[in-house]
Structure 1
Amino acid sequence: MKALITNRHLISRIVNLAFGKSLSSNGAEFKDVPIPTISDDEILVKVKAVALNPTDFKHIDAISPPSSIVGCDYAGEVTKVGKNAASVWKVGDRVAGAVHGGLYPDRGAFAEYLKTDSDLCWRIPAEIEDTAAATYGVSAVTAMHALNARLGLPWADDDQQNTPRTDPKDRPTILVYAGSTSAGLFTIQLAKAAGYTVVTTASPHSFDLVDKYGADAAFDYRDPSVVDKILANHPNISSAVDCISEGVSTDICGRVLRPNGGKIITLLPGAKSKYPGVESELVMSYTLFGRAFQWLPPVGPKFPALPEDRKALVRFYSSLPRLTATVKPPPVKLEGVGFDAILTGLDKLRAGKVSGAKLVVKMV
């Protein structure tokens, strides 16, 4: 099969990491590699569409060891079923999800075929197109990881959600920094499903977008008085999800939480709270796949297998087919068809030229 394969060795990866960007754009190339062999607990998927994430080009530029298949988010069709998965899946079923792309030579989404654990994916409803289904990958599971698995918010499929809090005074409030990102839009929706009032930051041109996805209030993150304005209107915030985790984002979240104390979930290493009483916790959502791994191997930090995280992903994807009317996909922007469109799309992400939409590529 054809796949997008990384080729950078350790020195160039470390240099790119030190500079914060790639010095060249040739860190991955199309190659013919064997179709993955599946275990009894896995399924083989013919990839129909993929969604692009910043983590994809970051893996190409710095994180991935050579000979790894890139790509996380996918939608496709089951073509082979392990014997232990046959009670759930059959050949021809439509399936979507995320895999840990960029680390393994036989597991990644930017390929003609991929393999995945049979319980770490979800069944696409008939009314959902492949391009939309592919967006419920890294961004969606990161939102679930932050809110439900770490901050302890009620799950979207909890029975108690049948009787939501109607009085705004009865709802706790959460801050979602960068609500117009794909992770931000999913976080807004899952927090609303949990019965929370959602305050978010965005550029003014994205206020209509975050409002459409359920935000109760939006503030301009570039406004020097943004913290004062948030606190004047919402003084009791004690939890936040920082969907950028770079620059001043975590500091703004910390200043909003400082009067009450609380917890910030961050998405990148190095983003930490400096305020007493305000805790920050990194979520590395690759732990949801239930395997120990290392970032920037062989010299980077190691992450253990976390069985409870894996259980959270199983729960989320098992319930997702019933939740797509409540948890909608982000706006989809079709980048093109075929492998070449993946590279052009990743270059746009690398250059910061994508806003308010999820880039998706059709594979067939």
Structure 2
Amino acid sequence: MKAVTTHRFLPTRVLSLLLGRPLGLGAQVKDVSVPSITDNEVLVKVRAVALNPIDFKNIDFFAPRNSAIGCDYAGEVVKVGKKSGQRWKVGDKIAGFVHGGLYPDVGSFAEHLKVDGDLAWKVPEAMNLGVASTYGVPAATAMLSLTYLDISWEDIENGRTFEDDQPTIFIYSGGSNVGLFAIQLAKRAGYKVVATASPRSFDLVKQYGADAVYDYRSSSSIGEIKKAYPNILRALDCFSEGNSAAFCADVLREGKVVTLLDQGKPKKPTVSYRFLMVFTVFGREFQLLAPVGPVFPVIPSDREVISRFYASLSTMSIDIIRCPPTTTIKGGLRDILDGLELLRKGEGRGTKLVVEFDEFQ
């Protein structure tokens, strides 16, 4: 089969990271073997993929040479492992995400993909596969983030209404893909949502459920939020660069900030940071930019959260949890590389790029 694989050796990737820009050929479409599956896996014919910043960052910096690339996917089941047969059958529409960019046989930017049977969800017949592919890394990250902030899955799954003292959560970069999913999940759990965004995204963020939106660039926003919502104890930093984590800590009276990149320790003693890396759900210890980068341990509880989330998503997705606005590209694997270049240049803001595959050449 054909797949997108990485091409850079470690010294070039390290130099690219130090320079902040990619050097040399980073990825290519090449012929590789169709992956074999274990008893707990299913083999998927990939029909659509959604693009994430981590995909081009893997190509440019993190992924070892000859690693398969791509995380988010949707497609059709073509082979079922012995222990996955109770949940899946050949022909089922399936979606989710994988840990692309680390292994030679795991990546969604390919004709076929192997996935863990308990970490995927059954796509409703009425849903387009391109849309279904967007419920991967961003949706799982949002779900896991709220769990890290002690918001229970039961409250999200069943819906909750607080009769008194409705709690508030603060979401930095509410207009991001993770932010839009997190807003909806937090509202489902009964929380009031205060978010930041750029002014051009205010209406979008409110359409997805935010109760109040502030300009993250305004020097007065922190004071205005603290005055209007003095008892915020939870914050999710969906940007996690520059001063975003400190902004979150300043908004909180006390409590916890979940970040998507390591932000060190907060200067505010009553606030703690917790760093989230969604790929811990797959039950394997891994390292970024091996052998020099950080090592991430196995966290079994993370897998349980996403397994339960995906088991219920089929009945929740259409009416309760909307995907971000999407821009669809019809094409093939080489069109993915063009789409990633748009993300690399910062030209994909405000939309989720999706590639729906025509027939492979």
TM-score (norm 2): 0.96
Query: Residue by residue, what CA displacement relative to the aligned partner does 1:238-294 show, whole Å, maximum 9, x if unpaired?
Result: 11000000011111111111xx21100000123542211110010000001111111
Q: Which residue of 1 aligns with 2:65?
A: 66
Q: Are the counterparts in 2 of residues 156 and 190 from structure 1 also a CA contact under 8 Å?
A: no
SS in 2 for 1:3: strand
Q: 2:302 aligns with which of 296, 309, 321?
A: 309
Q: Are the counterparts in 2 of residues 250 and 271 from structure 1 also a CA contact under 8 Å?
A: no
Q: Are the counterparts in 2 of residues 75 and 134 from structure 1 also a CA contact under 8 Å?
A: yes
Query: Residue by residue, what CA displacement relative to the aligned partner does 1:209-256 show, whole Å, maximum 9, x if unpaired?
Result: 011100000001111111011112111111100000001111111111
Q: 1:321 aligns with which of 309, 314, 325?
A: 314
Q: 2:259 aligns with which of 263, 266, 269?
A: 266
Query: Residue by residue, what CA displacement relative to the aligned partner does 1:289-336 show, whole Å, maximum 9, x if unpaired?
Result: 111111111221111111111111111110111111111111111133
Distance in 1 separating the partners of 2:158 and 2:42: 34
Q: What's the CA shift for 1:208?
A: 0.8
Q: Are the counterparts in 2 of residues 246 and 271 from structure 1 also a CA contact under 8 Å?
A: no
- 2:180 pairs with 1:185: yes
- After the TM superposition, which residues 113-192 of structure 1 pair with which residues of structure 2 at under 5 Å, given as runs? 113-148=112-147, 150-155=148-153, 161=159, 163-165=160-162, 170-192=165-187
User: Which residue identity does 1:4 align to in structure 2?
Assistant: V
Q: 1:345 aligns with which of 339, 342, 349?
A: 339
Q: Which residue of 1 aligns with 2:250?
A: 255
Q: Which moved more, 1:266-275 or 1:310-319?
A: 266-275
Distance in 1 separating the partners of 2:155 and 2:115: 24
Q: 1:218 aligns with which of 196, 205, 213?
A: 213
Query: Residue by residue, what CA displacement relative to the aligned partner does 1:51-101 show, whole Å, maximum 9, x if unpaired?
Result: 000000010011100110000000000001111111211110000000000
Residues 280, 107 of structure 1: alpha-carbon distance in 2 compared, 3 angstrom cutoff: same
- 2:349 pairs with 1:355: yes
Q: Report the RMSD for the aligned CA atoms in angstroms.
A: 1.4
Q: Are the counterparts in 2 of residues 250 and 272 from structure 1 also a CA contact under 8 Å?
A: no
Distance in 2 separating the partners of 1:336 and 1:8: 28
Q: Are the counterparts in 1 of residues 245 and 263 from structure 2 also a CA contact under 8 Å?
A: no
Distance in 2 separating the partners of 1:37 and 1:160: 38
Q: Are the counterparts in 1 of residues 156 and 186 from structure 2 also a CA contact under 8 Å?
A: no
- Segments of 4+ in structure 1 off by > 3 A? 156-160
Q: Are the counterparts in 1 of residues 324 and 352 from structure 2 also a CA contact under 8 Å?
A: yes
Q: What's the CA shift for 1:160?
A: 5.5
Structure 2: runs of 5 or more not aligned: none
Distance in 2 separating the partners of 1:93 and 1:45: 9
User: Which residue identity does 1:16 align to in structure 2?
Assistant: S
Q: Which residue of 1 aligns with 2:8?
A: 8
Q: Are the counterparts in 1 of residues 206 and 212 from structure 2 also a CA contact under 8 Å?
A: yes
SS in 1 for 2:83: helix
Structure 1: runs of 5 or more not aligned: none
Query: Residue by residue, what CA displacement relative to the aligned partner does 1:327-347 show, whole Å, maximum 9, x if unpaired?
Result: 111111113321122111111
- 2:293 pairs with 1:282: no
Q: Which residue of 1 aligns with 2:328?
A: 334
Q: Are the counterparts in 2 of residues 156 and 193 from structure 1 also a CA contact under 8 Å?
A: no
SS in 2 for 1:244: coil
Q: Which residue of 2 aligns with 1:32?
A: 31
Identity of aligned residues (%): 52
Distance in 2 separating the partners of 1:89 and 1:194: 29
- 2:223 pairs with 1:228: yes
Q: Which residue of 2 aligns with 1:300?
A: 293
Distance in 2 separating the partners of 1:351 and 1:55: 14
Q: How many residues align?
A: 357
Distance in 1 separating the partners of 2:140 and 2:231: 27
User: Which residue identity does 2:75 align to in structure 1?
Assistant: G
Residues 158, 343 of structure 1: alpha-carbon distance in 2 compared, 3 angstrom cutoff: closer
Query: Residue by residue, what CA displacement relative to the aligned partner does 1:161-198 show, whole Å, maximum 9, x if unpaired?
Result: 2x523x5x621001100011100000101111111000
Q: Are the counterparts in 2 of residues 242 and 249 from structure 1 also a CA contact under 8 Å?
A: yes
Q: Are the counterparts in 1 of residues 156 and 188 from structure 2 also a CA contact under 8 Å?
A: no
Q: Which residue of 2 aligns with 1:18?
A: 18
SS in 1 for 2:153: coil
User: Which residue identity does 1:20 align to in structure 2?
Assistant: G
